[in-house]
Structure 1
């Protein structure tokens, strides 16, 4: 089982140092000097931590295998992962990708929004990729304010989405507040474009 530790960000300086988007609550253990980390994609690694430091809430690392800024640029966006026992306890807000994919996405009232198809790793924040019942794909910011609850046992995730994020929500709002079908159709088309 692989646990995502961090995503490699932009280079810092000329000697190959990189900024990390840390995804573990134990970076002092996972990213300790001498740690050997597998990567996703696998061909980018493994990478050995030669030096680490924090500065203004950011985490910076030098790897033995990365000698200059050009090499650092080539690994930007690579995920650092470690092999871990599936039984190992994760942090309160840490989830394995395989735990999320396949969960039913519900709104706070229990209305079906779709099914989680993927977890996209992004520099700023991760995105839950949800396939709606009509086949449209919606990318949901994976933040506590929007993804309010994850219930693995009940096989669902609760999403308190802002208006218009999901096409069905936009269509229902339009039908309730606007008379005439043409305006409803326009709202649905607009929502569809935003979710592509």
Structure 2
């Protein structure tokens, strides 16, 4: 499960900015936390220090060899690395209408009349949550993940229902 993405270096001592993709960054990025990486060859990485600066999370990281990333060039080499935690390390969600991305990816998407629409291939978090659906004809469709447009999510049944507004399927 992706919990963040390393951005640009901050300063000259090896700190990196992080695009946070978790609702509990203080837990996920606490000093001592070990994070898997994508690409895997860059990790695992261990958080040596974490702090917030002007609303941006800054991390000091140690590489797989235990050596702290200590300069700007080494920090820049980590840019765009996705930070991951194992799925089995995730807590259960209390809200029945909340889902982890990995629970949604792979679900069959169908219309309200039961006709197949495609398969959820990703979830984008760009302002609003969007489901990326690969349609049965191979085209890609972005569906806002809101109850009005996705009234049914049946993880156990492997499907969700899309109720698109007029014109969405024509985009």
- From the CA coordinates, give the structure whose radius of gyration is larger: 1
Q: Distance in 2 between matches of 1:137 and 1:22?
A: 26
Which string of whole-angstrom CA distances, capped at 9 and with x for unpartnered residues, describes residues 62-81 of structure 1?
11332222222222221212
| In 1: Cα distance, 2:151 partner to 2:78 partner | 33
Number of equivalenced pairs: 164
User: CA separation in 2, counterparts of 1:14 and 1:79?
Assistant: 22
1:113 Cα shift?
Answer: 2.5
Q: 2:108 aligns with which of 94, 104, 110?
A: 104
Cα distance in 1, alignment partners of residues 43 and 150 from structure 2: 32
Q: Deviations over 1:109-146 (max 9, x none)?
A: 65543212x22667777754322122222344667786
Q: Which residue of 2 aligns with 1:95?
A: 100
Q: Which residue of 1 aligns with 2:12?
A: 14
Q: Distance in 1 between matches of 2:54 and 2:3?
A: 20
Partners of 2:147 and 2:21 lie apart in 1 by 15
Residue ranges of structure 2 left out of the alignment (5+ in a row):
63-67
Runs of at least 5 residues in structure 1 that lack an aligned partner in the other structure: 171-190, 192-196
Match of 2:65 in 1: none
C-alpha RMSD of the superposition: 3.3
CA distance in 1, matches of 2:149, 2:20: 21
Which shifted more, 3-12 or 147-156?
A: 147-156
CA 1:67–1:87: 2 relative to 1, 3 Å: closer
- Closer, same or farther in 2 for the Cα pair 1:55/1:141, shift >3 Å? farther
- Helix, strand or coil: the match of 1:67? coil
* Distance across 2 between alignment mates of 1:7 and 1:123: 13
C-alpha spacing 1:150/1:46, structure 2 compared with 1 (3 Å): same
- Structure in which a larger fraction of residues adopt helix: 1
Q: Give 1 or 2: higher strand fraction.
A: 2
For residues 65-76 of structure 1, the aligned pairs below 5 Å read 65-76=68-79
Q: Which structure has the higher relative contact order (CA within 8 Å, separation 6+)?
A: 2
TM-score of the pair, normalised by structure 2: 0.72
**CA apart distance, 1:44:** 0.8
Match of 2:11, SS state, is coil
Match of 2:3 in 1: 5
Q: Which whole-Å CA distance do the structure 2 matches of 1:45 and 1:19 have between them?
A: 17
- 2:132 is matched with 129
CA distance in 1, matches of 2:147, 2:56: 21
